[in-house]
């Protein structure tokens, strides 16, 4: 091996490393666009059943079926906005700068009532509360700044939403064109395997995301019923937030239950802690736990087992591993990514005993 060959190899290696770094930098710079593409892809998978319904049942042509599908998404979003904006606006004064002192006072009063309740049950909490000095540490002056930042986020969300809907429209409308383009790029030796993989992935993920949307709707309705039964204020907003948190496997429902308990207690400030606040909060928590039992034994098994053809224990281990490696984002993306890997493994390594075991139902 000559020095010229070594030098050439080093130059090529440096060029490859530089190319990878440049590609990574460019992807980092356009990360917002990548997020829009991923969300639009998920929206497309959810919208495919609706598109097929408009085309096959109502006999719409491709363009009108696509427009109708996007309009369904717009109407759903508009419905949420019309439902939540008045509720949030009605509570805006409670979160303004002029009202932060009142909120601090109410929270301090709530902490005092908790202390009285504990003392009445022979639990020495007075010294603990005094040493913690929670009341003096309460400072909610950050809330106005948070709200200003939230307004900016809502503006950015509007731009992102418009971008996602625009991309989704063309993903739905020109999906056949994308398939034909992919055929030209795919090597002939692997064309059948890759196209079969894409078809199965599309089918399984469509079922998964549609099932997930249905699961969240069911949980939202059940949470709302629980909150309305016990007369919790802003039941729609609380139920919606807790249902959305359910997207995060295992951790999300726990966070949602804690959030519901806190908001329930705050919404009942002014009443007696022992006879009003505590019983209502306990009842709400029991109701939320019942909803989780229903979800864990009915909704989730149907989605994970039937939609992506995986055993619940298999899904649990995958989510646990993904959460350990990549945190919350990994837990959310674990099931779709695992499904994609299983489909690809089945197409390219069908004779592998481990692959055969894991993909026997696909």
What values do phi and psi take at 246, rounded to 5? Answer: -65, -15
pLDDT at position 66, please?
92
Tokens of residue 212, six digits: 């997930």
Measure the CA–CA gap between 111 and 184, rounded to whole angstroms. 67
Closest CA to 334 of 213, 217, 250: 250
pLDDT at position 96, please?
45
Name the DSSP letter for residue 297.
I
Q: Which residues contact 346 (CB under 8 A, 6 or more apart)?
A: 200, 355, 359, 362
Residue 18 burial (C-beta neighbours within 10 Å; 0-12, 13-18, 19+)? exposed
Measure the CA–CA gap between 27 and 45, rounded to whole angstroms. 24
Measure the CA–CA gap between 76 and 82, rounded to whole angstroms. 10
| pLDDT average per 10 residues of sequence, the chain (362 residues) | 68 81 79 80 84 87 91 83 60 45 60 68 59 49 50 61 87 82 72 79 81 86 90 81 82 84 74 74 89 80 72 81 80 83 83 80 71
pLDDT at position 154, please?
53
Global model pTM greater than 0.85: no
Q: Domain residue spans in the chain?
A: 1-90+141-185, 94-140, 200-362
Closest CA to 216 of 176, 157, 256: 256
pLDDT at position 68, please?
92
pLDDT at position 129, please?
53
pLDDT at position 149, please?
54
pLDDT at position 155, please?
55
Q: Is there a contact between 43 and 206 (Cβ–Cβ < 8 Å)?
A: no
Closest CA to 337 of 352, 323, 351: 323
């Amino acid at each position: 091996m000559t020095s010229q060959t070594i030098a050439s190899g080093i130059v090529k290696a440096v060029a490859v490393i530089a190319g990878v770094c440049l590609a990574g930098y460019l992807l980092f710079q356009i990360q917002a666009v990548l997020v829009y593409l991923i969300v639009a892809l998920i929206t497309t998978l959810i919208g495919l059943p609706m598109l097929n319904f408009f085309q096959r049942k109502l006999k719409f042509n491709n363009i009108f079926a696509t427009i109708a599908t996007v309009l369904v998404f717009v109407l759903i979003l508009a419905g949420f906005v019309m439902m939540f904006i008045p509720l949030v606006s009605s509570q805006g004064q409670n979160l303004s700068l002029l009202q932060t002192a009142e909120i601090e006072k109410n929270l301090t009063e709530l902490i005092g009532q908790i202390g009285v309740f504990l003392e009445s049950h022979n639990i020495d909490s007075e010294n603990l509360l005094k040493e913690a000095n929670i009341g003096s540490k309460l400072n909610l002056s950050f809330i106005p700044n948070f709200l200003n930042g939230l307004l900016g986020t809502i503006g950015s969300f509007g731009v992102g939403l418009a971008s996602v809907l625009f991309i989704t429209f063309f993903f739905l409308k020109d999906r056949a064109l994308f398939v034909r383009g992919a055929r030209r790029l795919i090597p002939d030796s692997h064309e059948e395997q890759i196209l079969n993989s894409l078809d199965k992935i599309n089918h399984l993920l469509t079922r998964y995301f549609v099932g997930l949307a249905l699961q969240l709707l069911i949980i939202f309705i059940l949470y709302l019923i629980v909150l309305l039964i016990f007369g919790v204020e802003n039941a729609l907003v609380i139920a919606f937030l807790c249902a959305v948190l359910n997207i995060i496997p295992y951790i999300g429902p726990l966070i949602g239950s804690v959030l519901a308990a806190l908001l329930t207690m705050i919404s009942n400030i002014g009443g007696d802690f022992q006879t009003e606040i505590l019983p209502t909060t306990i009842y709400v928590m029991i109701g939320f736990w019942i909803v989780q039992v229903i979800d864990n034994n009915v909704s989730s098994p149907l989605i994970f087992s039937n939609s992506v053809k995986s055993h619940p224990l298999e899904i649990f281990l995958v989510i646990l591993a993904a959460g350990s490696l990549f945190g919350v984002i990994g837990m959310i993306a674990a099931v779709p990514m695992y499904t994609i890997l299983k489909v690809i493994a089945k197409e390219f390594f069908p004779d592998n005993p481990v692959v055969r075991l894991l993909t026997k139902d696909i």
